[in-house]
Amino acid sequence: MANRRTKVLFFGATADAVGSRELEFSIDETTTANFLIVLLSQQHPALATHRLLVAVNEEYADADTVLTDGDEIAIFTAVSGG
Amino acid sequence: MANRRTKVLFFGATADAVGSRELEFSIDETTTANFLIVLLSQQHPALATHRLLVAVNEEYADADTVLTDGDEIAIFTAVSGG
Amino acid sequence: MSDADFTELTTEPIDITSVARRVVPPECGATVTLDGYARRLTKDKQTGETRETDHLVYEAYEPMAIKEMQKLVEEVKAEFEISNVGIVHRLGKLEIGETSVVISVASPHRRAAFAACEWLIKELKRTVPIWKKEVYADGEVWIEGEASEPPA
Amino acid sequence: MSDADFTELTTEPIDITSVARRVVPPECGATVTLDGYARRLTKDKQTGETRETDHLVYEAYEPMAIKEMQKLVEEVKAEFEISNVGIVHRLGKLEIGETSVVISVASPHRRAAFAACEWLIKELKRTVPIWKKEVYADGEVWIEGEASEPPA
């Protein structure tokens, strides 16, 4: 149980909102991406002003996905390349 | 009536067929582009092996168009630019 | 044709980037560009055989070709919601891989730019008096277009 | 993806011509290229006001962006009869007028190239994790896309 960790990446508007491009979190076997978003939104209310998308290990994922040890999460706004 | 003349231009396959890029013809008030094509085809049978298009004064025209003094005719094959 | 549109014939190599850039008005965010180029392998339409081309030669009835290209620009701007159009066609001898034609369309809406560019190349191949000669190791032939009657 | 396809992110200026040329196989005679570029004037979607941009900054989740672009190439080649595809997206700071993205599609049939290129830019804007920041004289804003739910 101990030492499960997940890396969370931020880009663009979400990086500005949390003031960081990468954070690490301890997780347990029930932690979801959405749980981390709620946690982060409490510390950084600007984050909650955006509609957020989630990727787990470089693939789009549902925010309810349960995370596992070593996962790389990314939290970002709707993409605007092109 | 005298001295009505028309310039006839050839391009690509038609220039090769008649061995010239430009010829001048005397015309009367009934001369059509088609008449010139028939005349030229007798002298240069290779011309008759092509389906020919006609332009009069830089505009597509019917081969039956009656020519007038000073007209610039062009006789060429279906275009193949691009 | 507005001042921002252009139709040109050139015997110099064509740079796609600069054609695409010249059609851009400040409010547009995208251009669609068609470029054709001299290809090495062509299929004979009668025999179905593949021939290897050494180089191409393009020839135009220049003043009429410019007029016909300008007509296409007028028509496409009347028909589609686009900003600017540029058409540049190469003439003379082209080595394999060199650009023969570039058509660029700038538009506030991508869809119109794609549709307009596609229409322009189709019509250019049908109406603009330019001819292509394919030169092979053992001969050459002036390619004749597919139009079955004079363009309207 | 075949060896002739490519998906790249670069902080260097993009040359449209060279992207268009790289997708060309010997049997194809035309490429269709979409290029987007940094525009000076943009319209605010909420207020409808026109704003003047000083420059742009593009940022990507790079490994995922490459993966998503590669998926688009796989999909478009399964769906359309095309030969090769190249996608290059610029990252970092872009001055006004600089190219942000180039998508080139080579195809034996023009129609498929137009359709495939149009599909690719639509999907790239929807799925590839790249973000654009518009920097004005008096502020800046990260643009958020229109996707109302995560890409499937």
Cβ C35–D30 below 8 Å, yes or no? yes
Classify burial at C73, counting beta carbons within 10 Å of its beta carbon; exposed 0-12, middle 13-18, buried 19 or more: buried
Reported as a single tens digit per residue, the pLDDT across B38-75 is: 999 999 999 999 999 999 999 999 999 999 999 999 99
What phi and psi values does residue D98 have, to the nearest 5 degrees? -75, 150
What is the CA angle C83-C116-C39, rounded to 5?
120
What phi and psi values does residue D6 have, to the nearest 5 degrees? -150, 145
| pTM summary value | 0.90
Classify burial at D125, counting beta carbons within 10 Å of its beta carbon; exposed 0-12, middle 13-18, buried 19 or more: buried
Q: Do chains A and D touch (3 or more CB pairs under 8 A)?
A: yes
Cβ D34–C30 below 8 Å, yes or no? yes
Nearest to B55 by CA among A32, C101, C61, D137: C61
Q: Do chains A and B touch (3 or more CB pairs under 8 A)?
A: no
Reported as a single tens digit per residue, the pLDDT across A16-70 is: 999 999 999 999 999 999 999 999 999 999 999 999 999 999 999 999 999 999 9
- On the question of pLDDT at C29 being above 80, the answer is no
Predicted pLDDT of residue B70:
93
Nearest to C31 by CA among D132, A82, D126, D8: A82
Cβ D20–C41 below 8 Å, yes or no? no
Reported as a single tens digit per residue, the pLDDT across D91-148 is: 999 999 889 999 999 988 889 999 999 999 999 999 999 999 999 999 999 999 987 6
Collapse the DSSP code of B47 into the 3-class scheme (helix H, G, I; strand E, B; otherwise coil) and give the result: helix
Q: For residues D83-109, b (16+ Cβ closer than 10 Å) or e, as one string? A: bbbbbbbbbeebeeeebbbbbbbbbee
Instruction: Report the chain D residue with the minimal C-alpha distance to residue A17.
Output: D142
Which one of D67, D121, D130 has the shortest CB-CB distance to A79?
D130
The mean of the pLDDT values for chain C is 90
DSSP string spanning C47-82?
T--EEE-SEEEEEE-HHHHHHHHHHHHHHHHHHS--
Nearest to B71 by CA among B40, B15, B13, B25: B25
The answer to whether C100 and C38 have CB atoms below 8 angstroms apart is: yes
Q: Closest Cα of chain C to B79: distance in Å?
A: 5
| Number of Cβ pairs < 8 A linking chain C and chain D | 88
C-proximal residues of D, 8-67, CB under 8 Å? 15-17, 20-21, 24, 26-37, 39-41
What phi and psi values does residue A72 have, to the nearest 5 degrees? -110, 115
CB atoms < 10 A from the CB of C43, how many? 12
Name the pLDDT band for C54 (thresholds 50, 70, 90): very high
Reported as a single tens digit per residue, the pLDDT across D9-59 is: 998 988 888 888 888 877 777 899 999 988 888 777 778 888 899 999 999
Which one of C63, C67, C128 has the shortest CB-CB distance to B81?
C128
Q: How far is CA C108 from CA C5, C54, C70, C80, C82, in A?
A: 16, 41, 22, 11, 7
ipTM of the complex: 0.88
The beta strand positions in A1-82, using DSSP E, are: 5-10, 22-26, 52-56, 59-60, 72-77
Task: Specify whether the backbone of D63 is left (phi greater than 0), alpha (psi in -120 to 50) or beta.
Answer: alpha
The mean of the pLDDT values for chain B is 94
Instruction: Report the chain D residue with the minimal C-alpha distance to residue A55.
Output: D64
Cβ B79–C89 below 8 Å, yes or no? no
- On the question of pLDDT at C148 being above 70, the answer is no
Query: CB-based contact (8 Å) between C97 and chain D?
Result: yes
Looking at residue B26, the DSSP 8-state letter turns out to be E
- C-chain CB neighbours of D111 within 8 Å are 118
Which one of A51, A62, A80 has the shortest CB-CB distance to D131?
A80
How far out from the chain centre does Cα C104 lie?
A: 10
Tokens matching residue C63: 């003043």
Nearest to B56 by CA among B47, B66, B48: B66
What is the spatial distance between Cα C144 and Cα B37, in angstroms, rounded to a whole number? 18
Q: How far is CA D119 from CA B41, C114, D16, in A?
A: 51, 11, 19
What is the spatial distance between Cα D99 and Cα D37, in angstroms, rounded to a whole number? 4
Percentage of chain C surpassing pLDDT 90? 62
Q: Closest Cα of chain C to D80: distance in Å?
A: 16
Cβ D101–A82 below 8 Å, yes or no? yes
The answer to whether B76 and C131 have CB atoms below 8 angstroms apart is: yes
Cβ D130–A77 below 8 Å, yes or no? no
- D-chain CB neighbours of C97 within 8 Å are 21, 24
Q: Closest Cα of chain B to C84: distance in Å?
A: 20
Reported as a single tens digit per residue, the pLDDT across D45-95 is: 778 888 899 999 999 999 999 999 999 999 999 999 999 999 999 999 999
Half-sphere exposure of D36 (CA within 13 A, CB side): 25
What is the spatial distance between Cα D14 and Cα D5, in angstroms, rounded to a whole number? 17
Q: How far is CA C52 from CA B79, C25, C56, C136, C137, in A?
A: 22, 41, 11, 6, 8
What is the spatial distance between Cα C74 and Cα C54, in angstroms, rounded to a whole number? 36
C-proximal residues of D, 75-94, CB under 8 Å? none
Percentage of chain C surpassing pLDDT 70? 95
Cβ B13–C126 below 8 Å, yes or no? no
What is the spatial distance between Cα C99 and Cα B75, in angstroms, rounded to a whole number? 27
Q: Closest Cα of chain A to D41: distance in Å?
A: 16
Predicted pLDDT of residue D148:
61
Cβ C130–B80 below 8 Å, yes or no? yes
What is the spatial distance between Cα B72 and Cα B8, in angstroms, rounded to a whole number? 6
The answer to whether B44 and B17 have CB atoms below 8 angstroms apart is: yes
**Which residues contact residue B27 at a Cβ distance below 8 angstroms, ignoring those fewer than 6 apart?**
B4, B5, B6, B67, B69
Tokens matching residue A79: 């993409």
Q: Closest Cα of chain A to D70: distance in Å?
A: 13
Cβ D35–C37 below 8 Å, yes or no? no
Q: Closest Cα of chain C to D102: distance in Å?
A: 10
Predicted pLDDT of residue C43:
75
Q: Closest Cα of chain D to C61: distance in Å?
A: 23
Q: How far is CA C122 from CA B72, C79, C127, in A?
A: 27, 15, 9
What is the spatial distance between Cα D109 and Cα A77, in angstroms, rounded to a whole number? 37
